[in-house]
Every structure is written in structure tokens, then in C-alpha cells.
A and B are shown apart, each in its own frame.
Chain A
């Protein structure tokens, strides 16, 4: 724990051009040369709503910040601005679902998981309603500190019966996931990347299927099991490891619940590989522990490591700094795996 106010004032001696700022990456997670698509969720939902008149969009003062404003612009009469009232947002969505509509309700992951949990749990999940809860800023995707960093959202939601949980990797997968979760009857929690979202999976002939893990590349030395933006990092890590003559495979598990246990067990059972689970989430209660328990139950026990956020309230700062500090940048992940292989 940090002692009160203790900050290196040596920061002042750094030339101001060399200071990384918190707001630098507010709009996008993408690297400078990365291909992106703007607001994939908003565009996909607006398009789907053309043929699905029961779809409505609700937000709690975060339409612009969850890309729902694109839907609102295309279908103004089907957009409900609930004000900054997350509990109302979830219960109102439940009420509309009871009346036969399919609400997509958006806010930030922290406010759904923490403030509105009880409302989602009983009004939506217990009634098994067709509400899709779509939340920006999952895991560590903002430098604003613990009030905005949803480092334990999956741990919170995994315990909720009836709820399907997905953690898409890129713009393509978000576009594919929107119709897929609409086709699924029941509540869904989707972690959302917003703004200019990186485009990665098109290079792998990827097709999202709800409940299915997909092997994006195979490798003989390491199997990286990952979700969300960490799959993008895992693919980069695999490239970097190849330069070191380490052969790494990547199994992308974008449906966290229900987990594609068969595919995971089969991949992890292939002998001689280190299994690394990489997630943009606390090491507690996320994909890593879900995979570990699955393998233990099946009697499959490879060498196992986690790339995940520490069990701490994290710092404020610029995202690249924080991703390095907490071990989820490509460079940090590559170094961890090299260290584990050498041990």
C-alpha cells in the first residue's frame, strides 16, 4: 500500500515533453500504426436494429462514451437516455424486456458491476431476461484510477447464474458479436472496446461463435489462452517469441461464461507446453482461475502461469505506463514468458 501522498516530486525535474499524460490515450487503445475501425459496437447495433424492431438502446449518461450515440442517431425514437442513474438503467431495461423488447443497456464496466450489481442480478438475470449489458472501460483501459478501472468485473459477474459473459478482442469481433448476442435468448454482459478500435482478427479468418474458443495459431512450446484485448497482445507476443525460437500458440476465449471447456482441455492436454492464461483483469476470479479449475477437474495439469492484473487498487497514469507496470503490455508479457521458460 502506498503511504499517504507519497509521490516522487522528482517528476518536476523531468522535462515536460517527457511526461506521459493520463488523457493521451483516452479515445483509443490502438497503437500509432494499428488499423482501426470507429465505434464498431454503435454501427453494428444500428445496422442490426434495421431488421430487429424489438431492439432498443438505453444508457446512463454515457452514450457518447460507449458508442451508443451512433445507434441513437440512427434510431432516435428507440434510444432512451436515463441520466446518470445506473440502477434505474438496469431495472428499466428489465421492465422493457418484460414487455417484449430487447434492450441494449450501456455504461462503464465499473458502474454496472459495482453499483448496479443487485439490479442486474435480480431484475435481469434471475428473471432470465433478454437484456444485453454492454460496458466500456473493462479491466485496465483507463488511467483514472480505481473509480474507473474495472479490474474485477468478470470476477463479480461470473458468479451470476444465467448470465453469458463475453470479452471481444477487436473491432471485427465486436461487429460479429452484436448479432450473435441478440440471437441468444437471455442476459449477456459484454466488455466493450470503444472509439477507434483495433482491427486484428480479420487476418486470421476469424468468425465469432458464442460459447466457442478459437485457436488462432498453434505452437509447440507455449499455449497462450487469452480473451479481450489480451488476445491482440498474445498474438504480438507470439511473434516476438518466434524471434527467440519459441513456438507459441494462441487460443482465444472470448466467451468467458459458459466456458468452452472441451476445447480448452484438449488444447492444454497437448504435452510439453507451458499454459499461460492472459487477461485484462485481476488474477483473482477471471479467465485464469476459470481455466485452472477446468483443467484440474479434468485431471489435466500442465505447467500453468497467469498474465493478469495484481490483486491491488491500481495507480492512475497513462495506459502504456500502467500496462507495463502491471505486466499486461506485449513487452512485459513476452518477458514474463521468457522468464518462465528459462526457470
Chain B
């Protein structure tokens, strides 16, 4: 296990989360629509992952000792780019190329395009199973790095997620930390209606032999504690943090809008959205 696994709370996690949201809005504006509500919702989780929990070197994204972060939900690339920019892994001036021809920041995350993007997600259901392989490989190399895998409530419909859950439990992969973004949304509507079973998500992982926690994914203190516990828990089990998040968090007028997997924001609303976000920052 990693040395120094418990770190002092970075005082400015909320500020990092604010800046991740701001980066996401600036990228969203380039396309005018997209997975903006997801990015705003998961920003606190990414702030705690990248600025509290994870070990990495911004100047060397392929550093052998890094914690691996696997983005299974390729459409959340906008959220991860926002965090990678904040972490200094991608230069800030590239955000204006999001989803443009020949950009390094395609709309669906792919490993060959972007530094810091470990896998090509997007065909949902791959990430956690890949994470099992990464975790086995790291153990074989006697590495103390962790594998984080971000996946989603809708994705839990895929059988491969549960093959991975079973395999990781069987192999007691205590270097694997799953993060589920439960925003109660997927393509056709609320995940509670389309897939169901969300209340029991943590219990389902527990039944597969995981060390499971469920937290408010927009509460930075709760997230920090959960990531700490996931890293230090003295149990030979894979860990999962089920994070309940609010779509479009941080931009109240978008939070109130009918929740939508692929959000359309009108051209005159972007400035309003940035201003609303800024207002929340001061508060």
C-alpha cells in the first residue's frame, strides 16, 4: 500500500471543484450542447480524486508510479478534461478545441488522443473489467499504486460490470477503487426508472465481496473521508464509493431544468451559467 495514504485536506478543494466546473462550461460552450450536467455533477468527486487522493506527476502523465484513473464512461470526457486541465496535465488553452476536428479532446474519451486518459471508454461496461486487469498487473509488479475506475448508474445495467464485480471480489483486489456516479440519469430518462435497483447499489457490491461506501457526491468533506477510508481500510477487498450527485450542480438554473442526458444550452445562457457558478463560489 502507498505510504502517506492519509493526507491533510487540501484547503482549496472547493476552489478546485469550482475551476473544474468552469472549465467544463467553457468546453460545453464550444459545442453548445452535450454532457454538461454530468460534468457539473461529478466535479466534486474529481476534485477530491485529483487534489486529495491520487498520486501523479502532471509533467509526466505516464509516470510508472502513478495511480491509474480509468474513465469507463467515455461521454464524461468533458468532466475529466476539465480536471486534467486543472491538474496541469492538459494546457488550459486547449479547452477551446473540445470536440473540434483534430482536437486532442474528442467528445468521447480515448487513450490515444489525450494525456492522462488511460483507456478508451464509451462502449460502456468495459472500465471496471479493465480495472481488474490493471489491478492484477500492478500487484504482479509489486506496485503500490491504486486503480480508480469511474463508472455510472446507467452503466450498471451492463453484465460486464457484474462480471468485474465478481472477479474483483474473488481476487480480493484491495488496490482497486470503483467510483459510481449516481446522478439518477441515463439516456432514456431517470436511472431509477430505466434500470432501477439504485437504492441497493452499495449492498450489491458488498454481496460481491467489496468494501462499499455510499456518500453525497457533492459533499467534499464526505468525499474526502470516503476516499481516505477506501485507501486505508485494512481489508483485503476491492473498494467502491457510490456517489449520489446532483446533475448540473453549481448552476442553479440548470439544476432546475428538466434533467437531460444531452443538455442543450442556448448561446445567451453560457455567460449566465458562468456568472451563476461564480456567484456560488463567493457564497
A interface residue numbers (CB < 8 A to B): 2, 4-5, 7-9, 11-12, 16, 19-23, 26, 59-65, 69, 81-88, 110-111, 114-115, 143-148, 316-318, 321
By a CB distance below 8 angstroms, the chain B residues around A82 are: 157
By a CB distance below 8 angstroms, the chain A residues around B157 are: 60-61, 82-85, 88
Whether A84 and B186, one on each chain, are in contact in the complex, defined by CB atoms closer than 8 angstroms, is yes
**Listed stretches B115-123, B206-214, B224-232; interface member:** B115-123
By a CB distance below 8 angstroms, the chain A residues around B104 are: 5, 7, 9
Partner of A20, one of B32, B100, B120, B122: B100
In the A-B complex, the 6 residue pairs with the smallest Cβ-Cβ separation, listed nearest first, are A147-B122, A83-B157, A316-B106, A84-B157, A83-B195, A19-B100
Chain B interface residue count, CB cutoff 8 Å, equals: 43
By a CB distance below 8 angstroms, the chain A residues around B193 are: 81
Q: A83-B157, A83-B194, A316-B110 are in contact. Are A145 and B122 (CB under 8 A)?
A: yes
Whether B94 and A145, one on each chain, are in contact in the complex, defined by CB atoms closer than 8 angstroms, is no
CB distance from B56 to the nearest CB of A (A): 16
By a CB distance below 8 angstroms, the chain B residues around A147 are: 74, 108, 110, 120-123
Whether A317 and B101, one on each chain, are in contact in the complex, defined by CB atoms closer than 8 angstroms, is yes
Chain B interface SS verdict (over half): loop
By a CB distance below 8 angstroms, the chain A residues around B94 are: 9, 12
By a CB distance below 8 angstroms, the chain A residues around B186 are: 61, 83-84
Whether B123 and A316, one on each chain, are in contact in the complex, defined by CB atoms closer than 8 angstroms, is no
Whether A62 and B100, one on each chain, are in contact in the complex, defined by CB atoms closer than 8 angstroms, is no
Report B57-103 residues with CB < 8 Å from chain A CB: 74, 93-94, 96-97, 99-103
Best-surrounded residue of B122, B124, B157 (most CB of chain A within 10 A): B157
User: Quick check: is B34 within 8 A (CB to CB) of the other chain?
Assistant: yes
Would you mind naming 15 contact pairs between A and B with Cβ atoms under 8 Å apart? A8-B102, A9-B104, A11-B100, A11-B101, A22-B99, A22-B106, A60-B157, A61-B154, A61-B157, A86-B158, A145-B106, A145-B110, A147-B108, A147-B110, A147-B121
Q: A115-B123, A148-B122 are in contact. Are A84 and B102 (CB under 8 A)?
A: no
User: Quick check: is B199 within 8 A (CB to CB) of the other chain?
Assistant: no
By a CB distance below 8 angstroms, the chain A residues around B258 are: none
By a CB distance below 8 angstroms, the chain A residues around B101 are: 11, 19-21, 317-318, 321
Whether A114 and B123, one on each chain, are in contact in the complex, defined by CB atoms closer than 8 angstroms, is yes
CB distance from B105 to the nearest CB of A (A): 9
User: Quick check: is B166 within 8 A (CB to CB) of the other chain?
Assistant: no
Best-surrounded residue of A4, A7, A317 (most CB of chain B within 10 A): A7
By a CB distance below 8 angstroms, the chain B residues around A60 are: 157
Whether B115 and A5, one on each chain, are in contact in the complex, defined by CB atoms closer than 8 angstroms, is yes
CB distance from A144 to the nearest CB of B (A): 4
CB distance from B95 to the nearest CB of A (A): 10
Whether A21 and B188, one on each chain, are in contact in the complex, defined by CB atoms closer than 8 angstroms, is no
User: Quick check: is B274 within 8 A (CB to CB) of the other chain?
Assistant: no
CB distance from A86 to the nearest CB of B (A): 8
By a CB distance below 8 angstroms, the chain A residues around B154 are: 61, 83-84
User: Quick check: is B256 within 8 A (CB to CB) of the other chain?
Assistant: no
Whether B103 and A11, one on each chain, are in contact in the complex, defined by CB atoms closer than 8 angstroms, is yes
User: Quick check: is B159 within 8 A (CB to CB) of the other chain?
Assistant: yes
By a CB distance below 8 angstroms, the chain B residues around A110 are: 123
Whether B115 and A84, one on each chain, are in contact in the complex, defined by CB atoms closer than 8 angstroms, is no
Whether B107 and A111, one on each chain, are in contact in the complex, defined by CB atoms closer than 8 angstroms, is no
User: Quick check: is B143 within 8 A (CB to CB) of the other chain?
Assistant: no
Report B119-152 residues with CB < 8 Å from chain A CB: 120-125
Specify the chain B residue showing the minimal Cβ separation from A64. Answer: B188
Whether B106 and A87, one on each chain, are in contact in the complex, defined by CB atoms closer than 8 angstroms, is no
Specify the chain A residue showing the minimal Cβ separation from B108. Answer: A144
By a CB distance below 8 angstroms, the chain B residues around A16 are: 30, 96
